[in-house]
Amino acid sequence: MSGQQIEHLVSMANQIALNFGEKRNLTEAARKTGEHLKKFWTRAMREKLSIEAADSEVPLSPAVNLMLEQQRGQIGS
């Protein structure tokens, strides 16, 4: 994936978390974001987001970071 594609994945994940109420309830937004990504994103997209999250330069929202921490090891499945 190109850098632009990765930026797009990060942007989409952050927007999904925001739409699920990240500012109101971080834990619930993280859970719902994870469910949404599992339902609507391909395995490759989820894996790439997880890999890129290891880079501290990637601007992931708090809910996306929490979701990735909770699902570490199972994000591709």
Distance from C-alpha of 45 to C-alpha of 27, rounded to nearest angstrom: 22
Q: What is the pTM of this model?
A: 0.86
The per-residue pLDDT of the chain, averaged, comes to: 90
Overall number of domains in the chain: 1
- Residue 76 in any domain: the answer is no
Which residue segment(s) compose the domain that 13 sits in?
A: 3-71
Q: What confidence tens digit (pLDDT) does each residue in 14-29 have?
A: 999 999 999 999 999 9
pLDDT above 50 for 77: no
pLDDT number for residue 56: 67
**Measured distance CA(74)–CA(77) in Å, rounded:** 5
Judge whether 18 lies within some domain: yes
Sequential DSSP letters for 41-55: S-HHHHHHHHHHHTS
Q: Is residue 77 part of a domain?
A: no
**Could you report the per-residue pLDDT of 50-68, keeping only the tens digit for each?**
998 887 688 999 999 999 9
pLDDT at 11 > cutoff 90: yes
CA separation for the pair 14, 61 (Å, rounded): 5
